[in-house]
Structure 1
């Protein structure tokens, strides 16, 4: 795995994952994201797929996932919850493999 991308913020790693079908991307990190993504609850999987792979508008995502459109923070909270769940899944995956983790601080 590219350690540079593994140290990147989760948002950047998710953008890399979403670009897997579009062009230049880090396939190793995208595979790690996919493996962790597959362990998430369906609602978290769907919002991440719609935001990062489909690049769907917030209105479309809210309609499909039955997220109230007002206040706008409802969408942001749902997305933050999905990102947090993915971050936990990635951390668990790293611990299970006994491998390097970005928070280790070792380069």
Structure 2
């Protein structure tokens, strides 16, 4: 939520922030994780935290979907990390239904 806030959610209504936090409209946007993993990630963005190497491409897809779906900004540091990560991923088209 902190990353979303920094990326544009600060201008949303409380209802929009609640919808984002509970987004079940796309199976790629809300993923159950362990408490340990959640603590490790905290409010870090994709440039500051990644899961295991074998999950990085899936995480990049989920990050891209969430940012695009909700119209959130991507800063230069995130963009650089996304390009670096994508170099080792297969190229796939993403279909994303906008949430707002």
Measured against the shorter chain, the TM-score band is: 0.3 to 0.5
Compare relative contact order (CA 8 Å, sep 6+) and give the higher one, 1 or 2.
2
Task: Report the structure, 1 or 2, having the larger helix content.
Answer: 1
TM-score (norm. length: structure 2): 0.34
**Larger Rg belongs to:** 1
